[in-house]
């Protein structure tokens, strides 16, 4: 029986991974050391052309668990055994991990892995079929006011004739502001200053570049003073200069101890600069640990094999 206490690294060499194929289920705890996490989905033999390890059929039966947060660290987000299916299709299965206060986590995984579905569940936009999600100890319906959300750029109606200040204040009020008070304008300007966007405060959203739009949405999310920030591919579709500026901003947020964040990205530079930990999701948690652990060549190869998609993490762009 293969078992790995939390905080210890499981065996993961190619030959060991091979040896575990078809063996007993994993009893490793991904969250607290007390819960049972089912084995990662068994995949068939694959040859990925990724190096020597990939040339052999590899079947991984355990998630990779690196150094996990201390069990007693207060949690801003706790996800336990979350499952979701759409019709016959299982999209999330026994997803279990947690986020301590102030930690910056990157959520990675190939297309269709269930990342956005998980974000929607955290935001209360869909309900999991199984499992629980708590935000600062509260159920999602009560805890979601503590969450700031930066949506994917494509989700925004770019023809909307609003200014960044109006967008920020509308989000704070929960309705469209007919008149903006001085204190609201001051707060909005302070947030735009934080994201380097004061010069566009009164522009029309539809005239902004991709990078400027994302700065406004980051300011909008920060204005609610969130305990947890959720960023869904904020550098996607943004040009190189704008992308670097957003990554700088996220790295700053990562260095702050008061805001926790989940960043969904395929951008390796963003992960390397911002991530304190990484969760690699493919329907279930395939890997969870420090980026330094996951990014070592051997682990990354193992993760890519596990995902069956070696394009999932790219060096350049999203
Ligand atoms: N409302 C829905 N009804 C049916 N299937 C859905 C629904 N939402 C998502 N799916 C399916 O669930 C799977 C996971 O989708 P999801 O958007 O969560 O993946 P993702 O990891 O965010 O992928 P990407 O990297 O492409 O954004 C996909 O196969 C998708 O088609
Ligand atoms: Mg998605």
Q: Is the pLDDT of residue 118 over 50?
A: yes
From ligand 1's centre to the CA of 216, what distance in Å?
Answer: 26
pLDDT, position 155: 57
Indicate which residue's Cα is closest to atom 16 of ligand 1: 114
Question: Which pLDDT score is estimated for 312?
Answer: 44
Q: What is the per-residue pLDDT for 38?
A: 39
Ligand nearest to the CA of 109: 1
> How many percent of the chain have pLDDT more than 90?
54
Residues near ligand 2 ion, CB 5 Å cutoff: 115-116
Nearest atom within ligand 1 for CA of residue 118:
18
Mean pLDDT of 99-114: 93
Ligand 2 centroid distance, CA of 96 (Å): 19
Mean pLDDT of the region 117-140: 96
Helix (H) or strand (E) holding 243: helix 240-255
Residue of minimum CA distance from atom 13 in ligand 1: 112
CA of 14: how far to CAs of 5, 11, 109, in Å? 21, 9, 20
Q: Quick one: which ligand is closest to 111's CA?
A: 1
Give the pLDDT confidence score for residue 167 in this predicted structure. Answer: 94
CA of 163 to the centre of ligand 1 (A): 32
| pLDDT surpassing 60 at residue 16 | no
CA of 131 to the centre of ligand 2 (A): 21
Residues with CB under 6 A from ligand 1: 86, 91, 109, 111-117
Ordered DSSP codes for 101-170: TT-EEEEE--TTSSHHHHHHHHTTSS--SEEEEEETTEEHHHHGGGEEEE--GGGS-TT----HHHHHHH
For residue 118, the ligand closest to its alpha carbon is: 1
Separation of CA 209 and ligand 1 centre (Å): 27
Q: pLDDT tens for residues 212-267?
A: 999 999 999 999 999 999 999 998 888 888 889 999 999 999 998 789 999 998 88
Mean pLDDT, to the nearest integer, of 17-43?
A: 35
Which residue owns the Cα nearest ligand 1 atom 8? 117
Regarding beta strands 277-282 and 284-290, do their DSSP bridges make them parallel or antiparallel, or are they unpaired? antiparallel
Looking at residue 304, its pLDDT comes to 61
User: For residue 215, which of 229, 195, 201 has the smallest C-alpha distance?
Assistant: 195
pLDDT averaged over the chain? 78
Residue 301: pLDDT band with limits 50, 70, 90? low
Give 196's pLDDT tier (boundaries 50, 70, 90). very high
Output the pLDDT for position 24: 30
pLDDT at position 110? 86
The Å distance, Cα 116 to ligand 1 centre, comes to: 7
Q: What is the pTM of this model?
A: 0.78
Q: Residue 224's pLDDT is what?
A: 93
Ligand 1, atom 31: nearest CA belongs to which residue? 112
């Amino acid at each position: 029986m293969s078992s790995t206490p939390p905080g210890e690294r499981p065996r993961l060499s190619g030959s060991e991974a091979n040896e575990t194929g078809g063996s007993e289920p994993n009893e490793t705890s991904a969250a607290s050391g007390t819960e049972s996490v089912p084995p990662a989905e068994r995949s068939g033999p694959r040859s990925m052309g990724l190096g020597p390890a990939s040339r052999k059929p590899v079947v991984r039966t355990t998630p990779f668990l690196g150094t996990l947060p201390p069990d007693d660290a207060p949690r801003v987000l706790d996800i336990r055994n979350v499952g979701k299916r759409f019709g016959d299709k299982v999209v999330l299965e026994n997803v279990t991990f947690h986020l301590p206060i102030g930690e910056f986590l990157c959520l990675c995984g190939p297309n269709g892995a269930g990342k956005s579905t998980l974000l929607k569940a955290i935001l209360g936009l869909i309900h999991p079929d199984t499992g629980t999600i708590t935000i600062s100890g509260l159920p999602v319906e009560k805890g979601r006011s503590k969450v700031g959300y930066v949506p994917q750029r494509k989700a925004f109606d770019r023809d909307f004739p609003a200014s960044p200040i109006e967008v920020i204040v509308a989000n704070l009020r929960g309705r469209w502001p007919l008149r903006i008070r001085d204190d609201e304008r001051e707060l909005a300007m302070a947030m735009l200053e934080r994201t380097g966007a004061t010069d566009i405060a009164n522009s029309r959203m539809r005239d902004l570049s991709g990078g400027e739009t994302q700065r406004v949405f980051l300011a909008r999310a920060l204005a609610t003073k969130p305990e947890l920030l959720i960023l869904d591919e904020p550098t996607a579709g943004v040009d190189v200069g704008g992308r670097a500026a957003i990554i700088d901003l996220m790295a700053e947020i990562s260095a702050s101890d008061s805001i926790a964040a989940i960043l969904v990205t395929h951008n390796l530079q963003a992960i390397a600069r911002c991530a304190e930990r990484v969760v690699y999701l493919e329907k279930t948690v395939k890997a969870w640990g420090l980026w330094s652990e996951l990014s070592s060549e051997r682990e990354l190869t193992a993760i890519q094999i596990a995902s069956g998609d070696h394009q999932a993490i790219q060096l350049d762009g999203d």
